[in-house]
């Protein structure tokens, strides 16, 4: 495996040497290299550095943060220049943001040259803590799943293999055996997301229902689903509001998000059936009883994986660049994705060769002539070009 330095490394180096001295908050899915990225930052740091993780058998308390801070402050006294403190899995510490705020303010008062980075996999908890207590004191960095170019450089994958196996580097060495790879994904990636990122950090009255929702969603990537019908299939006492809440939690943990139907009349738009988009195809393909070759030989199935991967790329862009992502449907007319940025609107259709109903792209642009139509795939922007660049480059 080739050594990969992800974009967040250079960005953190830049911010950590910049003024003002702000807390750097790093969030993203589990097992995508956040800790490795910080290790690379530490390796190139000229001053003292201290790393500590709260991922312990028993969740640490506020005193743990204070103790790590004290160690880092000693580094500022021993060496010239700024010291660096990195706290990993910070969301496991109860009321962490209040303690961090107090320590940051104390450093400012005493003009200590200490730079601080905190990492977390549970974005919902980290974001809530930062916004509640650290307003004006932090910057956020999002680390997504590995992209197609990164997997090509590291594992020599072509685009098809990345579309099937997704962007979890820890699972890549196991892909020669589908059964072994799928077992690893389900046990070492999917289950920790549910048990550590969702159940421990949010109120979930029906954990079994949440797990069934996740498994049902893996059978419907890039599909618009009725939560009412889905609830009936799950055979669990609950309601649509509960199911929608659980879907929001899974989205906040970078597993699967439910896109809403786009309408320019936002105030009059009722809650719509969500379009399920996984942040990586990994969970989808690991949950299915079909190999890479079997999936590739089925145009309908492969088309769904391609469409979901396009949606995942757009979800990442939305988080990085402030886009809003939707889908559109009116009767039999449907547009795969609608991107909105300010007053600009793009209607995106994915063409992957699978059989499908007539395009809704023409109907959409007739109704909304200011919108720009974009085709990804056959007859439009090539898939290699789409996945090899940021949507910001071609959404102009």
Could you tell me which residue, 205 or 282, shows the higher pLDDT? 282
Could you tell me which residue, 208 or 147, shows the higher pLDDT? 147
* pLDDT for 302 beyond 90: yes
Q: Mean pLDDT, to the nearest integer, of 103-112?
A: 92
d(CA 373, CA 55): 46
**Are the beta carbons of 30 and 193 closer than 8 angstroms?**
yes
Q: Mean pLDDT, to the nearest integer, of 278-284?
A: 97
Could you tell me which residue, 61 or 196, shows the higher pLDDT? 61
Q: Record the tokens describing residue 57, joined without a space.
A: 């058998």
Q: Mean pLDDT, to the nearest integer, of 212-234?
A: 90
Could you tell me which residue, 9 or 122, shows the higher pLDDT? 9
Q: Could you give all domains of the chain from N- to C-terminal order, each with its CATH number?
A: 7-142 (3.40.50.300), 148-394 (no CATH)
Residue 43's pLDDT is 93
Portion of the chain with pLDDT greater than 70, in percent:
92
**Are the beta carbons of 345 and 372 closer than 8 angstroms?**
yes
* pLDDT tens-digit readout, 147-206: 999 999 999 999 999 999 999 999 999 999 999 999 999 999 999 888 877 887 678 888
Residue 198's pLDDT is 83
Residue 312's pLDDT is 97
**Are the beta carbons of 230 and 243 closer than 8 angstroms?**
yes
Query: Which H or E run includes 251?
Result: helix 240-252
Residue 36's pLDDT is 94
* pLDDT tens-digit readout, 353-391: 766 655 799 999 999 999 999 999 988 999 999 999 887
* pLDDT for 296 beyond 90: yes
d(CA 82, CA 50): 12
d(CA 90, CA 106): 19
Residue 293's pLDDT is 96
Q: Nearest-CA neighbor of 316 among 161, 84, 97, 141?
A: 141
Q: CB under 8 Å to 106, separation ≥6 — which residues?
A: none
Could you tell me which residue, 74 or 355, shows the higher pLDDT? 74
* pLDDT tens-digit readout, 2-34: 678 999 999 999 999 988 899 999 999 989 999
3-state secondary structure of 327: strand
Which alpha helices (DSSP H) does 145-238 contain, by range?
148-155, 159-165, 178-184, 191-192, 207-218, 227-234
* pLDDT tens-digit readout, 315-333: 999 988 888 999 999 988 9
Residue 325's pLDDT is 96
3-state secondary structure of 227: helix
Q: Which residues pair with 224 in a beta bridge?
A: 275
Q: Mean pLDDT, to the nearest integer, of 55-71?
A: 92
* pLDDT for 230 beyond 60: yes
Q: Which residues pair with 86 in a beta bridge?
A: 51, 117
* pLDDT for 42 beyond 60: yes
* pLDDT for 107 beyond 60: yes
Q: CB under 8 Å to 350, separation ≥6 — which residues?
A: 303, 306, 307, 310, 336, 337, 376, 377
Strands laid side by side in the 275-278 sheet: 223-224, 275-278, 256-259
Confidence of residue 122 (pLDDT cuts 50, 70, 90): low
């Amino acid at each position: 495996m080739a050594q990969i330095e992800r974009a967040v490394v250079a960005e953190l180096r830049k911010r950590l040497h910049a003024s003002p001295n702000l807390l750097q908050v790093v969030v993203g899915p589990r097992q995508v290299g956040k800790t490795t990225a910080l290790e690379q930052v530490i390796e190139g740091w000229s001053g003292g550095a201290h790393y500590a993780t709260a991922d312990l058998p028993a969740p640490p308390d506020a005193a743990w943060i204070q103790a790590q801070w004290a160690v880092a402050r000693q580094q500022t006294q021993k060496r010239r220049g700024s010291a660096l403190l990195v706290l990993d899995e910070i969301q496991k510490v109860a009321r962490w943001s209040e303690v961090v705020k107090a320590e940051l303010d104390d450093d400012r008062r005493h003009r200590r040259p200490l730079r601080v980075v905190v990492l977390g996999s549970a974005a919902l908890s980290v974001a809530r803590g930062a916004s509640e207590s650290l307003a004006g004191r932090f910057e956020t960095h999002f680390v997504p799943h590995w992209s197609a170019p990164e997997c090509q450089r590291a594992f020599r994958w072509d685009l098809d293999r990345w579309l099937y196996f997704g962007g979890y580097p820890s699972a890549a060495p196991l892909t020669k055996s589908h059964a072994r790879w799928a077992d690893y994904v389900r046990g070492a990636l999917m289950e920790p997301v549910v048990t550590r990122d969702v159940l421990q950090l949010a109120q979930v009255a029906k954990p079994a229902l949440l797990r069934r929702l996740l498994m049902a969603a893996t059978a419907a990537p890039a599909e618009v689903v009725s939560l009412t019908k889905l609830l009936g299939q799950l055979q669990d006492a609950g309601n649509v509001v509960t199911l929608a809440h659980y879907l929001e939690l899974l989205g906040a943990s970078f597993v699967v998000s439910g896109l809403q139907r786009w309408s320019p009349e936002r105030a009059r738009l009722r809650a719509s059936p969500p379009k399920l988009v996984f942040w990586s195809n990994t969970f989808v393909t690991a949950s299915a009883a079909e190999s890479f070759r079997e999936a590739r030989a089925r145009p309908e199935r492969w088309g769904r994986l391609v469409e979901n991967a396009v949606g995942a790329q757009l979800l990442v862009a939305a988080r990085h660049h402030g886009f809003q992502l939707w889908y559109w449907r009116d009767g039999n007319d449907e547009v795969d994705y609608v991107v909105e940025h300010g007053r600009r609107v793009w209607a995106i259709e994915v063409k992957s060769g699978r059989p499908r109903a007539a395009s809704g792209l023409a109907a959409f642009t007739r109704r909304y002539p200011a919108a720009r139509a974009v085709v990804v795939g056959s007859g439009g922007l090539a898939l290699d070009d789409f996945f090899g660049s940021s949507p910001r480059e071609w959404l102009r």
